[in-house]
Structure 1
Amino acid sequence: MAIKLLCLCLLLALLGPIWAKKQPCLASASSCDQCIQSSPECAWCTAPGLSSRCQTSRGLRRAGCRKSHIYSPQGEVKVEHSRRGPADVVSALQPEKLYLRLRPGVKMSFPLMVTVQKGQPVPELSADTSNVPGGLNITFMATKTGPPAQVQVYVEAARCPSDDEMGPWSVSITPKGFSMSTTLEITFECQCGCVGIREENSAACSGRGALMCGRCDCYNSFSGKECQRESGSLVSPNEDYCRSDPDALVCSGRGLCVEGFCECERRINPAEIYSGRYCECSNFDCERSNNKICAGHGLCTCGECLCDEGWTGEDCSCSMDVNSCMATNQKVCNDRGMCQCGTCVCMPPYADPTCESCPTCQDTCMQHMECVQCRAFGMGTKKDSCDQDCGHISVEMVETTEELLKTENGAKICKMRDENDCSFYYTAPSSSGGQTTVARSKECPRGL
């Protein structure tokens, strides 16, 4: 049965900015609210000391703002509860109520389940938006024929409501011809959550103001970005405020001193940023590897690489993964060296990529003979301490020497003599031990 759904686009007033057009973040934003309202891509850094705190989240991270200090709301959909009832009711619409927090320019969506009496078509959906501010766009799209049918609802706000418009606002979604409806309680993400959080007498504000959203709200008679000046002072701010010490360059030679604060110069490449109170930091003067800053495995923060998880070193080029250092016995560098940047640095006289060869050590056949004897035949000088001394050797038995040669093609074959002057054969383990295959049959002198 065909589903007829009305694709309803509610445009209640002339739209403000068209969010589909990518807009730059307002770098000159004086508040968190102003920043997040400038574009849905914009985020605000709540940590003090950053010269440009309104950028994209990625831009703020590159400028040195920690993830925990980045405020970038993306909206939220929360279901209060759903109706419960028999599947053959005349009409049911689930869930019954939802709470939506909308950030202008960010589309939110959620499913509605529509149940109708058997044999009836799925009713069209309509919405009552009589008390909602302009700029709200709601669309419906059928995603499942059912029963029950499923409709995906998309809600997007084009702009923040004006100051004199109060929320939250209710929108009712109702199937045509029925009274049962779903209610949307809508609020807007236009104010930053940090606005109401004040750190009084903050050290970041020279103890003369409250820190809020990373900026200082100076107490009476004080002014400046860090409330460092008395408003009534006749002394004009000079360049001494812009030097890290008396002999240092003004703004580290990377900016201008304006009213006692450094305004860092802008680079030709907008991704390259000077920051810090004295423009002493940058996000591009870091060690490089393979012509990439921090080897592409970290962030350049104030001239130093902050490496991603699993990487280390001044240029983040050193992998902490030890898989390439695992010896055949599943020990890192055979316990004969250290894994540095994915490569074994072996202790002399051990060598090779995993420290398993020892050219000057005892021949591996002779080195493991006593352990092979006790593990395979219960003989030899270590038969009474075999488990303790020879746990590093794992033995697989075959019947004949011919079978050993056939199954271990290419492996080094050891031929040794036991105390009865019988010859026995086995494959040479690595210098540190591991797997060996032993032929059960021996070659003994006549009479034995």
Structure 2
Amino acid sequence: MAVKLPGLCLLLLVLLGLSWAKKHPCPIFAKSCEECIQSGPECGWCTKYTNTHCNTVKYLQRAGCRNHHIYNPQGSLQILQNYSSSDTADGSSLFLQPQQVSLHLRPAVSQSFPLTISTPTDQPITELTLETSEVPAGINITFSSVQRGSPLMMQVNVEAAGCPNTSDSVNQNQTGPWSIQITPRGFTVSLKLEITLQCRCSCTQHRQEKSPDCNGFGSLVCGRCYCEKNLAGSRCQLLSDEFLTRDERHCRRDETKPLCSGRGTCVEGTCQCNRRPNPAEGYSGAFCECSNFDCPYHNNSICGGNGRCECGKCICDPLWTGESCECSMDTTSCLAKNQQVCNGRGFCECGACRCTDPKFSGPTCEECPFCPGRCTALHNCVECWVSGLGPSRCASECGQYNVTMVATHDELYDPKKMPNLCKFWFKDLCSLFFAVPFPGQSTIPALLQCDQPDPASRFSFSFADV
């Protein structure tokens, strides 16, 4: 069969009549390692004794199978012979580099390598031919042109569609190796490909008879028990005549609960938990009773984004607590100006102060609206506003406060809204009244009265101090 090089992508499909197994998702109930890895390149097999053997690598890792116990071959490529054209004496003949390549192919996982073809200028290459004797169906070889001219640079891609059906006896050599010759038409020089399919598991060669993991009544192969006659169960723990009636009891927490908590399938007395559409979510436990996603949320995040979900309960990260890990144990936000937690007058809870002294309030328990001296502390601010200097001139005295002038005492003071009332002498024959705001309030109402004052009141004082 010849394939023309000028095309951007040249495809060779060798057909010898063998049937191949179809690709399908990872079968979690696969009976053998071979059945598992042949189902798709994403499927791996846990070679250590566990409840789950066949699944995706990520799922097996989450289930507790360590990487060195996961068999998931992805193929390999080895250059066996790779002389350069400078090593040959005759520069007038065609030259291929490399000369020999060995490929181990996992079905549906491609392997690629570059091929350089150097030719005499008077003998252009027009076609390539492939000799494919004793090669099973499903080996796909494609070429793509990387650089035209001489030397001609090609990219060779090789992929196996699947593993041969073991029930087909036409070809006894099921996995290779097979040899393929890639030869430019009109020349004798060729590239030799040796292809082997990775359809079998190396762990099958290590069979442990009467394994303790199988209670001494079965053989452990690739982490799975193959029980002796009349025995069944994942660990050969059941009599086969009792198995059909007893296995479901091993898959229930008690007689009132559904099989595998309604989240899995009972297989030989062992729960195989269902897979979730989201690969990051999963069920676990002997009865699939646990999950890693059914936990309280806070701020639209599971466990507040400050912990992990285990069996429906949040396990919080350090410095976080609470049912949904919503409460920070960091006291930085509770430090007062004196560097005491909540000014020594409260305790820090979830990053906020809870004041225990009723006279103190505020974010760090530093505000004391009923404490003596509040009138004096606000006097300069109010006097600045009343003097008509305005917010820009009074900012240094007032900070966040705004002073609003009122006309009557009824507007000035409401004991339900203001903690206390202050009175100061202001210029000639005038008294200045203002109310101290509660924490969180920014407006200070003030009243200026300029009637004839009592001579005894010609000094500053606060009603809160009397």
TM-score, normalised on structure 2?
0.56
Match of 1:83 in 2: 83
2:19·2:137 contact (CA, 8 Å) conserved in 1? Answer: no
Deviation at 1:267, TM superposition (A): 7.2
Deviation at 1:228, TM superposition (A): 0.7
1:251·1:264 contact (CA, 8 Å) conserved in 2? Answer: no
1:50·1:276 contact (CA, 8 Å) conserved in 2? Answer: no
Structure 1 residue identity aligned to 2:76: E
**Is there any run of 5+ residues in structure 1 with no aligned partner, and where?**
319-339, 352-448
Structure 2 residue identity aligned to 1:99: S
Match of 1:57 in 2: 57
Match of 1:185 in 2: 194
- Does 2:34 match 1:33? yes
1:262·1:279 contact (CA, 8 Å) conserved in 2? Answer: no
TM-score, normalised on structure 1?
0.58
Counterparts of 1:285 and 1:139, CA distance in 2: 48
Deviation at 1:139, TM superposition (A): 1.3
3-state SS of 1:127 partner:
strand
Q: Deviations over 1:200-233 (max 9, x none)?
A: 4434322332322231122345321111124477
Match of 2:43 in 1: 42
Counterparts of 1:298 and 1:67, CA distance in 2: 25
Match of 2:269 in 1: 261
Deviates more, 1:190-199 or 1:272-281: 272-281
3-state SS of 2:162 partner:
coil
Q: Deviations over 1:401-446 (max 9, x none)?
A: xxxxxxxxxxxxxxxxxxxxxxxxxxxxxxxxxxxxxxxxxxxxxx
- Does 2:162 match 1:153? no
The one of 166, 182, 201 equivalent to 1:173 is 182
Aligned residue pairs total: 322
Match of 1:66 in 2: 66
3-state SS of 2:159 partner:
strand
Counterparts of 1:299 and 1:192, CA distance in 2: 36
Deviation at 1:142, TM superposition (A): 1.4
1:128·1:172 contact (CA, 8 Å) conserved in 2? Answer: yes
Structure 2 residue identity aligned to 1:223: A
- Does 2:137 match 1:129? no
1:104·1:159 contact (CA, 8 Å) conserved in 2? Answer: yes
Q: Deviations over 1:33-80 (max 9, x none)?
A: 1122222332223333334x3333233334444333332222111111
* Structure 1 residues 171 and 297: alpha-carbon distance in aligned structure 2, compared to 1, 3 A threshold: farther
1:62·1:299 contact (CA, 8 Å) conserved in 2? Answer: no
Structure 1 residue identity aligned to 2:211: S
Match of 1:219 in 2: 228
Counterparts of 2:28 and 2:177, CA distance in 1: 30
3-state SS of 1:98 partner:
strand
Structure 1 residue identity aligned to 2:54: C
Match of 2:382 in 1: none
Counterparts of 1:293 and 1:47, CA distance in 2: 32
Counterparts of 2:284 and 2:266, CA distance in 1: 15
Deviation at 1:235, TM superposition (A): 10
The one of 185, 203, 209 equivalent to 2:218 is 209
3-state SS of 2:202 partner:
coil
Structure 2 residue identity aligned to 1:47: K
Counterparts of 2:18 and 2:304, CA distance in 1: 45
* Structure 1 residues 264 and 171: alpha-carbon distance in aligned structure 2, compared to 1, 3 A threshold: closer
Deviates more, 1:6-15 or 1:106-115: 6-15
Correspondence 1:391-402 to 2 at 5 A: none
Counterparts of 1:200 and 1:131, CA distance in 2: 37
Counterparts of 1:54 and 1:233, CA distance in 2: 27
* Structure 1 residues 135 and 264: alpha-carbon distance in aligned structure 2, compared to 1, 3 A threshold: closer
The one of 104, 108, 112 equivalent to 1:105 is 108
Match of 1:391 in 2: none
* Structure 1 residues 293 and 103: alpha-carbon distance in aligned structure 2, compared to 1, 3 A threshold: farther
2:251·2:271 contact (CA, 8 Å) conserved in 1? Answer: no
Correspondence 1:264-413 to 2 at 5 A: 264=272, 266=274, 269=277, 271=279, 272-285=281-294, 291-292=300-301
2:264·2:288 contact (CA, 8 Å) conserved in 1? Answer: no
3-state SS of 2:25 partner:
coil
Deviation at 1:135, TM superposition (A): 1.6
Deviation at 1:170, TM superposition (A): 0.6
Deviates more, 1:181-190 or 1:61-70: 61-70
1:115·1:147 contact (CA, 8 Å) conserved in 2? Answer: yes
Q: Deviations over 1:380-405 (max 9, x none)?
A: xxxxxxxxxxxxxxxxxxxxxxxxxx
**Is there any run of 5+ residues in structure 2 with no aligned partner, and where?**
341-466
Match of 1:428 in 2: none
Q: Deviations over 1:302-324 (max 9, x none)?
A: 668999xxx97889x99xxxxxx
Deviation at 1:29, TM superposition (A): 1.9
Counterparts of 1:96 and 1:40, CA distance in 2: 29
* Structure 1 residues 220 and 95: alpha-carbon distance in aligned structure 2, compared to 1, 3 A threshold: same
Counterparts of 1:169 and 1:75, CA distance in 2: 15
Counterparts of 1:261 and 1:136, CA distance in 2: 41
Q: Deviations over 1:163-187 (max 9, x none)?
A: 3431211101111111111111111
Counterparts of 1:60 and 1:288, CA distance in 2: 27
Identity across the alignment (%): 41
1:40·1:103 contact (CA, 8 Å) conserved in 2? Answer: yes
Q: Deviations over 1:326-365 (max 9, x none)?
A: xxxxxxxxxxxxxx99x9999x9769xxxxxxxxxxxxxx
1:237·1:260 contact (CA, 8 Å) conserved in 2? Answer: no
Structure 2 residue identity aligned to 1:277: A
Counterparts of 2:125 and 2:310, CA distance in 1: 57
Counterparts of 2:202 and 2:311, CA distance in 1: 28
Deviation at 1:113, TM superposition (A): 1.4
* Structure 1 residues 283 and 34: alpha-carbon distance in aligned structure 2, compared to 1, 3 A threshold: farther
- After superposition, the CA RMSD in angstroms is 4.5
Counterparts of 1:297 and 1:197, CA distance in 2: 45
Structure 2 residue identity aligned to 1:50: N
Deviation at 1:8, TM superposition (A): 4.0
Deviation at 1:102, TM superposition (A): 1.2
Counterparts of 2:164 and 2:75, CA distance in 1: 16
3-state SS of 2:58 partner:
helix
